[in-house]
A and B are shown apart, each in its own frame.
Chain A
Amino acid sequence: MSNEDLDGIVERMLDGSEHSRRQFIRHLAAAGLLVGPGSAFLAACGGVKGESSGKKASAVSNHPKVPIGTWTFSNWPLYIDKSVLKSFDKKYGGHVKYVEDINDNFEFFGKIRQQLQAHQPIGRDMIVVTDYLAGRLVRDGFVEAIDKANVPNSKNLVSNLQSINYDPHRNFSLPWQSGAIGLGYDRRKTGRKLTSIKDLFDPKFKGRVTFLSEPYDAAGMVMLMNGIDSTHATIDQITNAIDQIEKAQKAGQIRRFTGNDYSTDLTKGNTWVAMAYSGDLVQLHADNPHLEFAYPEEGSMLFTDNMMLPQKSQHPYAAETMMNYVYDPQVAAKIAAYVNYISPVQGVKEILAAKSPKLASNPLIFPPADVVKRLHPYPSLSPADERTMEERMAQVTGA
């Protein structure tokens, strides 16, 4: 076809007679009709499956020893002494890509859920999630069993965590750290020491308060404030607590609902009081030395975050080697001293005591007996109750 031909056709197409243009459009419409049902069919295939359709993963696995390679470890911000990663790389070879991309359990689950459900790898070989999400991942078969032969140090796990309702034999999970939810505040701004959960509702701090967005934490703390045993709370007690949070939010008392990112506003002085995780504030001293943490007198929610192998983990052996490494009491002591959370590894206290008596008496790493009495584990809710709670909370936090 010569160039003149082509030009002619294009020209006619662009400003051709009304007749041919209409015909052209009609053809297009016909094509659209053909495509239409096709895509509806595609759409039908894309129906969303439920989580519980997943099969339960096998409780044993065998991960052969392979070179470590480059692998990915997802964790929460401010949750490791990064020199541990360097020494791990040095000792075992390979390279650990350490990503601090978990800010909130449900938010994180929302990110990875699609892949989990499609039985695809999530691009992370090891994740660290809190008990209630850990339980859900086990229930839905979204995690792989840990090959215990690769983690001999797991014998160092403290006795009170050796069994947990969702994973009685710790086949799928190994605790990373435990900690408490309490009050994080800027002493200079509040002008006084804070001791009670009620301080979060003090009108003097209006608009300067952040709450955690996870209902297990936020509602749990409010229930403790009201004298309810939040470990055995009913769904009605939980939704009542959320109602109370909503009222404070609408009144302008609560500025934002946060995940681990409460730290940003707090260090910058935009907020004065935060519902906070126990260990973070010490690390934030570098940015703002006036930050303090208090175990409230009414009690605290106690959380344990767990290392898990997401289903289709590409480097399970590397992840297990890391689990084993951080369960070496020497390494665990190093992490505990840095992050100021409660270590699940036996022998940490002795090591820290030998190093520095001050660390061994740090109430964040080793909560005193009267605090321990006031630490409350999360309630174990049915999937339906958990959903009711999440949806109610989302109405308050997400919009």
Chain B
Amino acid sequence: MLRLSLRRRRKLLPYLFLGPGLVWLVVFFLVPLLNQSYVSLESGNADTGYAFAWNWSTYSDAVSSYHTQFTRSLLYAGAATVIDLIIAFPLAYFIAFKAGRFRNFMLLLIVLPFFTSYLVRTVSWQLILADNGWVVNRLRDVGLVSSNGRLLATSTAVIAGIAYNFLPFMALPLYVSLEKVDRRLIEAATDLYASRATAFRKVTLPLALPGVFAGSLLTFIPAVGDFINALLLGTPNQYMIGNVIQSKFLNILDYPSAAALSFMLMGVILIGIAIYARLLGTRSLTEAAAA
């Protein structure tokens, strides 16, 4: 064992602590990232092989061919995030403030779907939304779906599927931030003649914002890249960018296009987050991450 001076050791210790995390990042993030950026600039085909060629046209081709799927992904993920926020906020509020001794039980209920696989949960939506299923028949009775209409294989089904699958990612951060709200602040607000609505608007809501940020990011980011919901609940007219990437990687073996599309997706998301952070302040973003 090397004998190092105390000073030395003190200097090295932080790296030692960071080591496992850094190694993980390098091996499972940085290396694949660089590898894929390299692949994305290759040209060739599956038969003759791909060779590196600084082939930037893959990127421009990807935009011109697949901008519909890009826009669709952003729209679907955005819609699902908003729906989740609308559903999860009252839910988290109730659990944090009103659930009392049922609090842990209700949290368990939120997490419970994770005990089965994502795929199985999505396939079960095929059964729920089936053309001759109970749900569609009741909606037909009240005239919300036309007699020959359907839910399965529509945008509604895909957005519903995404919203359902990602709800816990919204609900849990919201719960954490609501649960942290100091009740005395609300009491103080009402003591100062704020109505309950005003107290909610001026005290609870701002304090819950980090949860809203964290929840929105945790929902939106994976939802943009999702392909399972569109694959199982949609038609090719609902396919998202994830479907394109999946098909390019696995079915037509066009690795450069698949890699280029992945990078553009990552770029779009990063730009989105940057704008989000600008608008809402980086501080709340990091707070959100901490929450």
Q: Which residues of A contact B (CB under 8 A)?
A: 1, 5-6, 9-10, 12-13, 24, 27-28, 31, 35-36, 39-40, 42-44, 46-53, 106-107, 110-111, 113, 207, 249-250, 252, 254-257, 264, 268-270, 383-384, 387, 390-391, 394-399
Q: Give Cα distance in the complex from A5 to B42, angstroms.
A: 52
Docked-complex contact B131 and A50, CB < 8 angstroms: no
Q: Are A50 and B243 within 8 A (Cβ)?
A: no
Seed contacts A249-B237, A270-B152; 17 additional CB < 8 Å A-B pairs: A9-B10, A10-B17, A13-B13, A24-B14, A39-B31, A44-B52, A48-B39, A52-B47, A106-B252, A249-B236, A255-B235, A270-B130, A270-B153, A383-B47, A384-B47, A394-B251, A398-B244
The contact of A399 among B22, B51, B244, by CB within 8 Å, is B244
Q: Which chain A positions have C-beta within 8 A of B273? A: none
Contact residues of B between 138 and 157, Cβ < 8 Å to A: 150, 152-153
> Within B242-267, which residues are at the interface with A (CB < 8 Å)?
243-244, 246-255
Whether B71 is near chain A, meaning CB under 8 Å from some CB there, is no
Q: Does B164 contact A (CB under 8 A)?
A: no
Q: What is the minimal beta-carbon distance from B249 to any residue of chain A, in angstroms?
A: 8
- Once bound together, how far apart are the Cα atoms of A362 and B198, in whole Å? 77
Given contacts A50-B46, A107-B250, contact A207 B150 (CB under 8 A): yes
With CB as the reference atom, state the residue of chain B lying closest to A14.
Answer: B14
Whole-angstrom distance between the alpha carbons of A126 and B152 in the complex?
Answer: 37
Which listed residue (B42, B236, B250) contacts A397, Cβ 8 A?
Answer: B236
| Contact residues in B for A391 (Cβ distance below 8 Å) | 252, 254
A35–B15 Cα gap in the complex (Å)? 15
A12 CB contacts on chain B under 8 angstroms: 10
**Are the CB atoms of B47 and A51 closer together than 8 Å?**
yes
Chain B interface helix/strand/loop/mixed? helix
Question: Are B35 and A110 in touch, CB under 8 angstroms?
Answer: no
Is the beta-carbon distance between B236 and A396 smaller than 8 angstroms? yes
- Asked if residues A39 and B47 are in contact (CB atoms below 8 Å), the reply is no
B132, CB-defined interface residue at 8 Å: yes
Inside 8 A of A35's CB, which chain B residues have their CB?
26, 30
- The distance in angstroms between the C-alpha atoms of A42 and B37, with both chains bound, is 12
Select which of A27, A40, A50 is within 8 A of B15 by beta carbon: A27
Asked whether A387 lies within 8 Å of B46 as measured between CB atoms, the reply is: yes
Q: Which residues of B contact A36 (CB under 8 A)?
A: 34
Identify the closest chain B residue to A249 (Cβ): B236
In the bound complex, CA of A69 to CA of B45 (Å): 40
In the complex, chain A residues whose CB is within 8 Å of the CB of B47: 50-52, 383-384, 387
| B237-A252 in contact (CB<8A) | yes
In the complex, what's the smallest C-beta–C-beta distance from B17 to chain A, in angstroms?
8
User: B254: nearest residue on chain A (CB-CB)?
Assistant: A391
Total contacts A to B, CB within 8 angstroms?
Answer: 144
Q: Which residues of B sit under 8 angstroms from A207, Cβ to Cβ? A: 150, 153
**Interface of B toward A, CB cutoff 8 Å:** 6, 9-10, 13-15, 17-18, 22, 26, 30-31, 34-35, 37-39, 42, 44-52, 65-66, 69, 126-127, 130-132, 150, 152-153, 235-237, 239-241, 243-244, 246-255
Question: How far apart are the CA atoms of A5 and B50 in the complex, in Å?
Answer: 55
Known: A43-B31, A44-B38, A270-B131. A394 touches B252 (CB 8 A): yes
Q: Quick one: closest A residue to B45, CB to CB?
A: A387
> 5 smallest A-B Cβ distances: which pairs?
A50-B49, A398-B247, A110-B250, A399-B244, A43-B35
Q: Which residues of B contact A24 (CB under 8 A)?
A: 14
Closest chain B CB from A169 CB (angstroms): 25
Interface centre among B237, B243, B251 (most CB of A within 10 A): B251
CB-defined contacts of A10 to chain B, threshold 8 Å: 13, 17
Contact of B51 among A47, A51, A394 (CB under 8 A): A47
Q: 27 interchain pairs (CB within 8 A)? A: A13-B13, A40-B38, A42-B35, A43-B37, A43-B39, A46-B35, A46-B38, A46-B39, A47-B52, A48-B42, A48-B49, A48-B50, A110-B251, A255-B235, A256-B153, A256-B235, A264-B126, A270-B130, A270-B131, A387-B47, A395-B65, A396-B236, A398-B236, A398-B247, A399-B69, A399-B243, A399-B247
Q: Quick check: B243 and A43 within 8 Å, CB to CB?
A: no
Residue of A with least CB distance to B252 = A394
Could you say which residues of chain A place their CB within 8 Å of the CB of B255? 48
| A399 to B243 CA separation, bound complex (whole angstroms) | 7
Q: Which residues of B contact A384 (CB under 8 A)?
A: 47
**B252 touching A398 by the CB < 8 A rule?**
yes
Assembled-state Cα–Cα distance A182/B241 (Å): 32
Q: Which of B49, B66, B127, B254 contacts A53 (CB 8 A)?
A: B49
Residues of chain A contacted by B246 (CB below 8 angstroms): 398
Contact, CB under 8 Å: B49 / A49: yes
CB distance from A219 to the nearest CB of B (A): 15
**B-side contacts of A397, CB under 8 Å:** 236, 247
- The closest CB in chain B to the CB of A395 belongs to B65
| Chain A residues within 8 Å of B254, by CB | 391
In contact, A257 and B236 (Cβ under 8 angstroms): yes
In the bound complex, do residue A50 and residue B45 qualify as a contact, i.e. CB atoms below 8 Å apart? yes
Complex-state Cα separation, A39 to B34, whole angstroms: 7
Whole-angstrom CA separation of A31 from B42 in the bound complex: 28
- B243 vs chain A, min Cβ distance (A): 5
Closest-CB distance, B75 to chain A (whole angstroms) = 15
Whether A398 contacts B243 in the complex (CB less than 8 A), given A24-B14, A39-B30, comes out as yes
Contact status A43-B34, CB under 8 Å:
yes
Closest to A106 in B: B251
- Collect the chain A residues with CB atoms within 8 Å of residue B51's CB: 47
Choose from A50, A256, A387 the contact partner of B50 (Cβ within 8 Å).
A50
CA distance A398 to B239 in the complex (A): 8
